[in-house]
Amino acid sequence: MKNPKVSVVMAVYNTEKYLKESIESILNQTYTDFEFIIVNDGSTDDSPDIIKKYVENDPRIIFLQNETNLWISKTRNKWLKEAKWEYIANFDSDDIALPNWIETQIDFLEKNSQIDVCGANINFIDKEWKKTLRLKYPEKDKDIKASLYFINPFVHSTVVIRKNCLDTIWFYNEKLKNAEDLDLWFRLYDKGFKFHNNQKYLVNYRVHWANSIIKQRKEMIENTVILLKKNNFFKKISFNKIAIKFFIISFIKYSYVIFLTNLKNRISK
């Protein structure tokens, strides 16, 4: 594999509890030829100070700050304008990348030039860093696109995407506070870009459960319904067996993880 350049991007808002481990999981990747753009989206906790300590010791980090909280879409668009390399690797500031995440994804994309967006499978972890369940995502382009009409077929923190794809559709929809990634996949789909999910488990994905999260979930569901209507859900839906199976398994596993997390929170009170 030649060494293509990668822009790893992370938006941060009040995640001081998990931020160190998340940043270190990127800095300790087996693939090292990347720039690491971190945007503090108006955090009110110690997140900025934590980031600054890493900036002092690693020249790959580019630290940007929003004076106020702009929400995720505007913040992501801000760092995408700063990203200069051919691949974009998204990552959330409370998740943990396994050491071979970037290397595995870049290796696949370099060998499969027809693929534009590549995600992967995940391990669920709770707020105490304990692994709970695994979730396997649909692998092939046609199954991923069929899944779009049931449930989000990518986990954002696993995705590596060719930057020219984002340049074509002009990044994220800044009108959305939630489900902005689902909107992105729909727009990439409409432009004919090809999807894939690596079947390796490359990211530990953190599940939170609190009243604030419940409110966000409600807003996300509302935005998802809007997106489905916008993208002619009832006209385009096809009963792809893999997509339906993925939806059912995802629903059961997400419900189970949320139940366990909620139960732990109640017991700890």
- pLDDT in the model for residue 115: 98
Which residues, in sequence order, are bridge partners of residue 40? 12, 65
Pairing state of beta strands 61-66 and 34-41?
A: parallel
What pLDDT digit, counting tens, does each position of 12-39 carry?
999 999 999 999 999 999 999 999 999 9
- When pLDDT is cut at 50, 70 and 90, the band that residue 83 belongs to is confident
Q: How many residues does the chain have?
A: 269
Distance CA 135, CA 195 (A): 18
- pLDDT in the model for residue 263: 47
Residue 21 included in any domain: yes
Range among 172-176, 203-207, 239-243, 252-256 with highest mean pLDDT value:
203-207
Q: What is the mean pLDDT of the chain?
A: 82
Q: What is the CATH number of the domain that holds 24?
A: 3.90.550.10
pLDDT at 126 over 80: no
Instruction: Enter the pTM of the model.
Output: 0.80
- When pLDDT is cut at 50, 70 and 90, the band that residue 163 belongs to is very high
- pLDDT in the model for residue 221: 47
Contact 94, 30 (CB under 8 A): no
> Distances in Å between the alpha carbon of 175 and those of 12, 42, 73, 109, 178?
19, 19, 8, 31, 9
The residue segments making up the domain with residue 242 are: 6-268
What pLDDT digit, counting tens, does each position of 105-117 carry?
999 999 999 999 9
Residue 122 included in any domain: yes
Range among 133-147, 172-186, 200-214, 250-264 with highest mean pLDDT value:
133-147
Residue 1 included in any domain: no
Residue 67 included in any domain: yes
- pLDDT in the model for residue 84: 85
**Which residues, at least 6 apart from 97, have a Cβ–Cβ distance to it below 8 Å?**
22, 25, 26, 29, 91, 157, 202, 203, 204
- When pLDDT is cut at 50, 70 and 90, the band that residue 135 belongs to is confident
Residue 91 included in any domain: yes
Count structural domains, the chain: 1
What pLDDT digit, counting tens, does each position of 173-201 carry?
777 777 788 888 989 998 999 999 999 99
Distance CA 79, CA 158 (A): 18
